[in-house]
Amino acid sequence: MTYRKKTSIFSKIKSNWRDISWWQISIEALYFRRIIGNRGTDVMPEDWDNLIILDACRYDVFREVSRLPGILERRISRGGCTEEFLRNNFEGRRYLDTVYVTGNPMVDRLVGDCFYRIVPVWKDGWNDEYGTVLPETMVRYSLEADEKYPDKRLIIHFLQPHHPFLGENAWREIGDEASREIVGFNATVREKVMSDDLSYRKPQERVWHMLRHKVDMQKVWDAYKENLQIALPHVKELVDRLRGRTVISADHGNLFGERIAPLFFREYGHPGGIYAKNLVMVPWLVIESAHRKVLKEESDIAQTEVKYQQVDIEKERVKGSIRKLRESGRL
């Protein structure tokens, strides 16, 4: 069950009025939402059989690092963070021809009822040592889903290049203490989502606050690129084994201290409501296939209608039994 808890602007101000960074982000978000706007790509009407999402992957870094075949385009995402991407692409709609395989727990939390099936890899495939779902685990679960649902589109949501950083260079340069802090932050997000705790956003904000004050940002940039380099061979393996036309994209990008209008303060990570270039410009790599999937959505609708008919029949049977009992005076 997905729902959106509404919080009034007054309660937000009451909770954050002393927080300068909150005012900064709020003013920036108001500027982008009300003045700039976002006309990003609606991913579902696009032509693909498999949509691979790389979490927080910037277009410029993907273009530099990727050696995957295909035609690479730039697209604008519908969100500056995962929550916006999910809500603006899927919320309030049903896609019975699509299975969503996800390492990101927010998919279940926000749009869990929008698809034929959700495969929550983040529940069973979580790696406690690294505080994330490893890319090889995503490959395994995705191939199983492709075999189990051969007539469905697949959305496959990797967690990389989003932190935690997996590479040996990252742990060495950023340091064990900071790296383990990030692992702990991500584990906290997972636990909060599992317990339906709406404060799951706070640990992510603390990660970037910690990084910008404890670690040289060039080292964080290198670790981010290394994360993508680690993930892409697994993505290639998956593309080679999946059937159909595959698109590789991202839910959003990532900021590393760019100055953002209208206040021109530096921003880090991926705060919601901000549609700066490096936050919403994402890759769109199209990899063709000789064989396309034959999708089936009607059968799912028919099965759902049959289930509702069975429920209605059962209701009528129970009502008939109650009526007979009343007529016989036994009720």
Q: Which domain holds residue 330?
A: 298-331
Do 322 and 213 share a structural domain? no
What does the pLDDT average to over 249-277? 87
Asked whether residue 111 is domain-assigned, the answer is: yes
Q: Which helix (H) or strand (E) holds 22?
A: helix 20-31
Yes or no: say if 267 and 276 are a contact pair by the CB < 8 Å rule: yes
Least confident of 112-121, 204-213, 308-317, 321-330: 308-317
Do 304 and 163 share a structural domain? no
Asked whether residue 107 is domain-assigned, the answer is: yes
Is residue 18 helix, strand or coil? coil
Do 329 and 190 share a structural domain? no
Do 227 and 325 share a structural domain? no
**Cα–Cα distance, 270 to 158 (Å, whole number):** 17
Total domain count, the chain: 2
**Cα–Cα distance, 168 to 179 (Å, whole number):** 11
User: Residues near 102 by Cβ (< 8 Å), separated by ≥ 6?
Assistant: 108, 118, 119, 120, 121, 122, 155, 156, 157
Does residue 157 or residue 17 have the better pLDDT?
A: 157
Asked whether residue 7 is domain-assigned, the answer is: no
> Which residue's entry shows tokens 């926000």?
110
**Residues paired with residue 284 on neighbouring β-strands, in sequence order:** 73
- Give the whole-number percent of the chain exceeding pLDDT 90: 55
Do 303 and 291 share a structural domain? no
Instruction: Report residue 51 CA to chain centroid gap.
Output: 12
CATH number at residue 21: 3.40.720
Residue 298 has pLDDT above 60, yes or no: no
SS3 content of the chain, % helix, strand, coil (to 5): 50, 15, 35
Confidence of residue 201 (pLDDT cuts 50, 70, 90): low
pLDDT value at position 101? 98
Confidence of residue 22 (pLDDT cuts 50, 70, 90): low
Q: What is the pTM of this model?
A: 0.81
Residue 46 tokens, joined = 């696009």
Asked whether residue 134 is domain-assigned, the answer is: yes
Do 84 and 52 share a structural domain? yes
Asked whether residue 6 is domain-assigned, the answer is: no
Do 303 and 238 share a structural domain? no
Q: Cα–Cα–Cα angle for 162, 166, 171, nearest 5°?
A: 115
Asked whether residue 44 is domain-assigned, the answer is: yes
Do 247 and 318 share a structural domain? no
Do 306 and 218 share a structural domain? no
Strand 153-158 with 95-102, pairing: parallel
User: Residues near 151 by Cβ (< 8 Å), separated by ≥ 6?
Assistant: 293, 294, 295, 296
State the amino acid at position 160 in one-letter form. Answer: Q
**Cα–Cα distance, 39 to 291 (Å, whole number):** 32
Do 137 and 30 share a structural domain? yes
Single out the residue of 34, 9, 3 nearest to residue 22, CA to CA.
Answer: 9
Do 309 and 264 share a structural domain? no
Confidence of residue 311 (pLDDT cuts 50, 70, 90): very low
Q: What is the pLDDT of residues 115-166, one digit of tens each?
A: 999 999 999 999 999 999 999 999 999 999 999 999 999 999 999 999 999 9
Asked whether residue 2 is domain-assigned, the answer is: no
pLDDT value at position 271? 83
Do 308 and 240 share a structural domain? no
Residue 6 has pLDDT above 70, yes or no: no
CA Rg value for the chain: 23
Asked whether residue 252 is domain-assigned, the answer is: yes
**Residues paired with residue 156 on neighbouring β-strands, in sequence order:** 52, 101
**Omega before residue 164 within 30° of 0, cis:** yes
